[in-house]
Each structure stands twice: as structure tokens, then as C-alpha cells.
Amino acid sequence: MGKHFGELAKIRGLITYKLSPHEQRAYAGAISGGLPNIFRRFRESVFKWAPPFIIGYLVYEGVEREHHRLARKNPADFENDQ
């Protein structure tokens, strides 16, 4: 029962390499390679998702404006009230 989960089977002919977590550089190249990649991906995909959002916003604003206009009372209907 002295075996750990990763050592339950012995596979012959398979070579594995391990690197200690203390030797890894987790953020290596994050600024020099990551930021330009973020801008490139945004520039490539903005034309796929922005038009539906813009159209949806314009439709929403138009409907809200029309609803507000129709919900107002007409002052001409109440000219003869006392």
C-alpha cells in the first residue's frame, strides 16, 4: 500500500519529464506576448459581436423613447378642465 496514485502502474517504454513548480515561470512572456495578442484577438472579433449589440441598443432606445412618448398625457385634452 505504499504506492501513490501516479505510481499505480508501471509502463515500459514511456518517458516522462517533470519540472518542479518552483522552477516554472508562470507569467513568462505575459506582457510582451500576451498584451499584443489580446489586442489582436479583440480587433479580429469585434466585428462579429459589436454590430448585434449596437443594433440591439438602438432598437431598445427607440422602443423606450416611443413608449415614453405614448405614455405622456396630451395637454390639449385637458385645456377646458377647471
Distance (Å, whole) CA 53 – CA 51: 5
Q: How many residues appear in the chain?
A: 82
Read off the pLDDT band of 4 (50, 70, 90).
confident
Is residue 31 situated within a structural domain? no
pLDDT digits (tens, 9 = 90+) for 40-81: 999 999 999 999 999 999 999 999 999 999 999 888 888 888
pLDDT digits (tens, 9 = 90+) for 29-48: 888 888 899 999 999 999 99
Domain that holds residue 67: 48-73
Q: Of 35, 19, 39, give the one whose Cα is nearest residue 27.
A: 35
Domain total of the chain: 1
Three-state secondary structure call for residue 82: coil
pLDDT at 1 over 70: no
pLDDT mean over 21-25: 77
Is residue 61 situated within a structural domain? yes
